[in-house]
Amino acid sequence: MGKQYFGTDGVRGEVGTDPMTADFALRLASAAAQVLVPEGGTVLIGKDTRLSGYMFEAALEAGFVAAGADVLMLGPLPTPGIAYLNQVFRADLGVVISASHNPYHDNGIKFFDGAGAKLTDEVELEIERYLEQPAITRESGKLGKAKRIDSARDRYQEFCTSTFPKGRNLDGIKIVFDGANGAAYKVGPRALNALGAEVITIGCSPNGRNINAGCGSTEPGLLQQTVPAVQAQAGIALDGDGDRVVMVDERGGIIDGDQLLYILATARKAAGSLEGPVVGTVMSNLGLEHALTRQEIRFLRAAVGDRYVLEALREHGGVLGGETSGHMILLDQTTTGDGLISALQVLAVMESTGRPLSELAAGMPKYPQRLVNVRTRARIDLAGSSAIQAAVREAEHRLAKSGRVVLRASGTEPVIRVMVEGEDEHLVLHLAEQLAAVVAEAAT
């Protein structure tokens, strides 16, 4: 049986619409406690800057305490910060209230185990089975307690700066930091300042409603204008919960997750510290695969979602992987995707080589790629639709060996993603629109 509530990154949806209600959050906490801390234990709860975070924080706290778990409230903190602090506080479970790059009217709930890793599909299914039962309240003597931890942000900041190479710093480097008005709005600039950088901030004034709005990794236009305007060496844009990053070079050009992965992989190979293959996803640009092959670096593709990148890294003994969106995994630094730490590693390459970001990324020419999101009212069986499969075969025939076609259902919203890439940009654009029209017709 498939999962009803959990997607590729926890439970997510529009606030006030099932399942993103206070009642559901309380029941989810109760179910998670019964599966993961049945004898009592410690649970961390962190969040991003969405207005609805207060409501879900209170509901989750009540559900866990009623089920007998002690709760430590961390306040606004990037998702990877909760994963890290789970280990620092020796907690049994970490909970993040965030809808990542989505607009403020959405929210979500995701979990980390005691080792700072995301839950497996099997554990999520077990939690969903407990959701079918009423939330529990233990007798008074077995209830949990809750308290706030004021030092959480400082501890995570120190961890981030510790990943920068020892004995080196960012003195004399000007950086524009875009915090997406999200969870990293304080810790990001402070970490960069601590390393000696001159920091100019945008997207660091959250009001509960402006997260990801006209800023951050999904809308970096202002960052692209600001970096060359102030003559900065680089720009950093995180998403709302701080687990994704895109960068902007000194000319204002976007450096996406594929290019960042190329920069880090080639730098690690040159330093002799690259272990195993580099892992991308089925959506990673073909240019990345070809560029790494030229450097004699093995490249593997996983399904979309950082958990699947992580699984492939562990299976094949790799340490470096990521997605085009900027969700990077550096297992030689931390346990999960961390936008700030990923950016620091790229800045370290810039500092050690003396090369500008545009030059470091130039070794990976990107193939033209077109992604079309087709909204649907219900799930579509992509493999079972003869019309869709015929259109895919025709597109692949026309691309021959110089391109790819990928169709997949989003794990976080009712969308079919249609991606076409290849050497011929006009053909790519045409085929993507043609395929999207076929999918839209099948969705009606």
Buried residues in 233-251 as b, exposed as e (16+ CB within 10 A): bbbbbbbbbbbbbbbbbbe
User: C-alpha angle 292/287/223, rounded to 5°?
Assistant: 105
Q: In angstroms, rounded to a whole number, what is the distance separating the alpha carbons of residues 248 and 200? A: 14
Positive or negative torsion for Cα 254, 203, 213, 56: positive
Q: In angstroms, rounded to a whole number, what is the distance separating the alpha carbons of residues 404 and 321? A: 20
Q: In angstroms, rounded to a whole number, what is the distance separating the alpha carbons of residues 345 and 164? A: 7
Q: Provide the terminal-to-terminal Cα distance of the chain, rounded to the nearest Å.
A: 26
The residues facing 320 across adjacent strands are 278, 330
Q: In angstroms, rounded to a whole number, what is the distance separating the alpha carbons of residues 141 and 144? A: 9
Pairing state of beta strands 174-178 and 70-76?
A: unpaired
Closest listed residue to residue 321, CA positions, set 299, 296, 341: 299
Length of the chain: 444
Q: In angstroms, rounded to a whole number, what is the distance separating the alpha carbons of residues 211 and 395? A: 38
Residue 258: DSSP 8-state: H
Which residues, 6 or more positions from 103, have their beta carbon under 8 angstroms from its beta carbon? 211, 212, 213
Q: Which of 100, 217, 325, 385 is catalytic?
A: 100
Q: Which residue is it, tokens 């958990």?
A: 307
Mark whether 52 is an active-site residue: no
Cis? peptide before 19, omega within 30° of 0: yes
Instruction: Indicate the Cα dihedral angle 200, 202, 206, 207, nearest 10°.
Output: 120
Q: Which residues are catalytic?
A: 100
